[in-house]
A = this chain, B = another copy of it.
């Protein structure tokens, strides 16, 4: 099975997920800035966080399938499981927003992040197993430090929200949870240079013969 159609379908689903979250942002009830901040202020920040997360998953998914050739049934369904987890972001984001980051929604949002991370890990594992030994993907991800640290952060965030995110006061646990979720996003926004390097190594030989010496910018097209 071709990876191109699986990538195109995943791109479509991710593009829709990342965009429909804005449909949950209802127009403010009033006409002034106060109404905007009151009605949509937290919504905009929640939307931004989820937008960045879907963007991260798109970029990593993109990188991963650069090193994937064979799509088996297992890869296909692991990929759909990942898309399902990501498709719940609009729902959990909306709940978090509607309740102004209350305790249970923040925990559920963290569990959604955790579920997506696990689904991504399963997809990665299925692809590596498909590729057998000398798997280029396994070589590329190396120790996969970021992939292992992220779930820990999500769990810390969930526990913090559970323990100290209730009540009507300062709710320090909620701030810890939000800090955890934001920290993981920030960590991933830095793109995965190891995989980029592996792709470059893998792709250059194929195109070496057709190198365009007259290219004015001195770049190569890997398409």
Contact = CB atoms under 8 A, between A and B. Distances in A.
A19 B20 contact: yes
Given A14-B9, A217-B134, A27 B98 contact: yes
Interface residues of A, number: 88
Contacts of A17: 19, 22
A51 B134 contact: no
Given A19-B87, A51-B84, A216-B136, A1 B33 contact: no
Interface in A25-66: 25-28, 31-33, 35-36, 40, 48, 51-52, 55, 58-59, 62-63, 66
Contact of A1 (B22, B94, B212, B222): B222
A77 B62 CA distance: 13
A108 interface: yes
B27 A94 contact: yes
A110 interface: no
Contact of A31 (B2, B16, B28, B105): B105
B84 A28 contact: no
Contact of A62 (B5, B94, B220): B5
Contacts of A22: 17, 20, 87-88, 90-91
A125 interface: no
A205 B25 CA distance: 48
B7 A15 contact: no
A191 interface: yes
A75 to B, nearest CB: 10
Interface in A94-125: 94-95, 97-99, 102-105, 108
Interface of A: 1-9, 11-20, 22-23, 25-28, 31-33, 35-36, 40, 48, 51-52, 55, 58-59, 62-63, 66, 69-70, 72-73, 76-77, 80, 83-84, 87-88, 90-91, 94-95, 97-99, 102-105, 108, 131-132, 134-136, 189-191, 193, 196, 199, 202, 205-206, 212, 214-223
Given A4-B223, A12-B12, 11 more contacts: A8-B11, A18-B87, A31-B103, A31-B104, A36-B95, A36-B108, A55-B77, A59-B73, A73-B196, A76-B191, A205-B214
